[in-house]
Amino acid sequence: MDHPSFPRCLLAMALAGGLGLSGLAGAADTIKIGVAGPMTGGNAAFGEQFWSGATRAAEEINAAGGVNGQTIELVKGDDACEPKQAVAVANRLLDQDKVAAVIGHFCSSSTIPASEVYADAGVLVITPGSTNPKVTERGLPTVFRMCGRDDQQGPMAADFIIHKLKAKKIAVVHDKDTYGQGIADAMRARLKELKADKKEVLYEGLTRGEKDFNPLVTKIKGTGADVVYFGGLYNEAGPLLRQLRDQGVKATFVSGDGSLDPAIVTAAGGPKFVEGSYMTSVREARNIPAAKKVVEKFKAAGADPAGYTLYAYASLQSIAEAMKGTQSTDGKKLADWLKSHAVATVLGPKSWDAKGDLKESGFSIYIWGADGNYKEMAQK
Amino acid sequence: MDWHILVQQLVNGLTLGSIYGLIAIGYTMVYGIIGMINFAHGDVYMLSAYVTAICLATLFSFGVNSLPFALLATLVMTMVITATYGWTIERIAYRPLRGSTRLAPLISAIGVSLVLQNGVQLSQGAKTQGVPSLIPTTLRFGEGDNFVQITLVQVMIILVSLSSMAALTWLIQRTSLGRQCRATQQDRRMAAILGINTDRIISTVFVIGAAMAAIAGVLVTLNYGSFDFYIGFVTGIKAFTAAVLGGIGSLPGAMLGGLILGLSEALFSGMVNTDYKDVFAFSLLVLVLIFRPTGLLGKPEVEKV
């Protein structure tokens, strides 16, 4: 037992070799940029979108001559939407890969702790999809987002539920995660402002990763709710919606951007379960006129830039523009530049306030049709 | 609370509990025979959900029109394929470690779990997959909006789990194979001296456990219609809890543990609060273990000298 076996020695050597190599790889003709998000785990679909958007943007930027004479090299960081792993990934990206800036993370519960690591090191980070208010509310100068905030999205849903749907009884369900509960609470706060908090008949959290919500559905049925608001992701929204319909609950289903994904149709088991549901989300990137050319390029390559793909694309564009504008990769300088300049991105011109939030957030309401596709409802 | 809501929650809990029980059988059998917790078992169940969808799609694309035939064929095919996986995993990841410390196969099992999860994610994609609802038959009792409903699939889940448990109990208690299993469980070396091929018996147990997980995979896929590469994790942990609650190593215990866990989750969720249903279920587990450390139907492990 005292002698390490041969395979173990081999493993140790391989590990040591790996470390040595990555130490040498930091050549001066590339700028490394981290792309961090859930590349594995239950939310890996969002990580794939990040990676697909960022790689395409890097290809475009490098083909056009790169940034300050250097080419962009992307480094993948997998947090699996686990806060602890997110911090470890952040440290690895900084210490081992020596990235100059980071695109990420996705789940707000991961972005919040990881961004503290980046901010401590003075490295710029732009999240394409974390909508929890806290991300930019902690006075961290190098933290930005490419999307709106839940305290804009949740209230929009509340206004819609009260004014358009004229709800009488509202059941609020969330997934106990920072994002899901955050958006549900923002929705409830607005209900209170509208003096409609008495209409809430249920407020409960389900467990992420489960598929059976029948007990909760039976309970919702018992309350006689006519609107069900869900704060969470499509993985849970799909089965929840199906089980609601299976048990004969006809309440209108309203949710946020985490559920607005074509995958909810498969998760629910068919378009008939999703039809007629409303969801708030960031403006559909594929419909933005400025994105038309890029969308065509994606499609020509056989990819569909769904969800956050173009938000990751725009994040990398902004980082590259700031680096060109400042002739530097210093996080502090980049942050100051972004806060004082507008960037022409694939999503149109974007500019940021002193907190790192977008000046114009732009949320829309979407409705699901019988064909399993969703449509952006007309802007007010 | 109205009676129909209460009855509906009982139906919900029974269905959920039967699924836990079916998967718990795999944990409990493997633990019973080699004292190892097969952490990859939840992922074997996940794999069977994918196999189910692939089998169904293949059969329908070959123009099989008869639904009962397609379902039966899918069940058999899924059981065979998943059982092959169970056998292979035991052969590759556990058997070579049999002589080493008790912890080695445990770590190996966690490794297999990661390999299966990531393998399926890479080959099938990270997105949620689904099958359309094939058996929409629903039985409703009651009038107007106050009805209790149970779907045909739910009835199947409850019946299949109970009968599988009964069949396996009979197999272990009454057949020659069962006697060999029990002998291997009591003293592997002695059993081997008496001419029992213990390696083959252990393989058989893995095959049976995986086949049970396959039955659960088929039924769950029919019931919920959607699955992803991650479903094995939460369900696996719940099923393992059920096995411990009922007394790990005991087959009726696995089913009992599953039903208690499912019912307590459903009833607590329905009457008190969904947020804390897992807290409640696990508190129950702790309480049971304080008073009965070997679980409800478990036998205390006799220290062998």
CA distance A112 to A81: 11
What is the tens place of the pLDDT at every residue in B92-101? 999 999 888 8
Kindly state the helix (H) or strand (E) to which residue A345 belongs, with its residue range: strand A343-345
Nearest by CB to residue A215, choosing from B130, B133, B266, is: B266
Among B residues 246-285, those touching chain A with beta carbons less than 8 Å apart:
265-267, 269-270, 273-275, 277-278
Please indicate, yes or no, if residue B302 is contained in any of the structural domains.
Answer: no
Q: Are B230 and A207 a contacting pair at CB < 8 A?
A: no
* Residue closest to B128 by CA, chosen among B12, B227, B232, B16: B227
What is the tens place of the pLDDT at every residue in A261-276? 888 998 898 899 999 9
Q: Are A219 and B128 a contacting pair at CB < 8 A?
A: no
Angstroms from B272 CA to nearest CA on chain A: 10
Whether residue A181 sits in one domain with residue A129:
no
Q: What percent of chain A has pLDDT over 90?
A: 71
Give chain A's mean pLDDT: 89
Q: Which residue of A has its CA nearest to B232?
A: A209
CA distance A293 to B283: 57
pLDDT of residue B1: 57
Whether residue A163 sits in one domain with residue A101:
no
Whether residue A167 sits in one domain with residue A205:
yes
What ipTM does this complex have? 0.87
Beta bridge partners of B147: B142
Q: Residue A325: how many CA atoms within 13 Å on its side-chain side?
A: 19
Q: Which residue of A has its CA nearest to B265?
A: A215
pTM above 0.80, yes or no: no
Nearest by CB to residue B225, choosing from A44, A216, A242, is: A242
Kindly state the helix (H) or strand (E) to which residue A200 belongs, with its residue range: strand A200-205
Q: Are A248 and B145 a contacting pair at CB < 8 A?
A: yes
Q: Which residue of B has its CA nearest to A176?
A: B275
Residue A260 in this model has a pLDDT that exceeds 50: yes
Please indicate, yes or no, if residue B211 is contained in any of the structural domains.
Answer: yes
Residue A188 in this model has a pLDDT that exceeds 80: yes
Q: Are A214 and B15 a contacting pair at CB < 8 A?
A: yes
Q: Are A207 and B128 a contacting pair at CB < 8 A?
A: no
CATH classification at residue B237: 1.10.3470
Tokens of B258: 């599953």
- Residue A310, domain extent: 6-147+288-350
CATH classification at residue A76: 3.40.50.2300
What is the tens place of the pLDDT at every residue in A7-39? 444 444 444 444 444 444 444 689 999 999 999
| Total of domains in chain A | 2
Sorted by sequence, the CB contacts under 8 Å of residue B88 that are 6+ apart come out as none
- Residue B21, domain extent: 3-291
Nearest by CB to residue A270, choosing from B132, B228, B269, is: B132
pLDDT of residue B301: 64
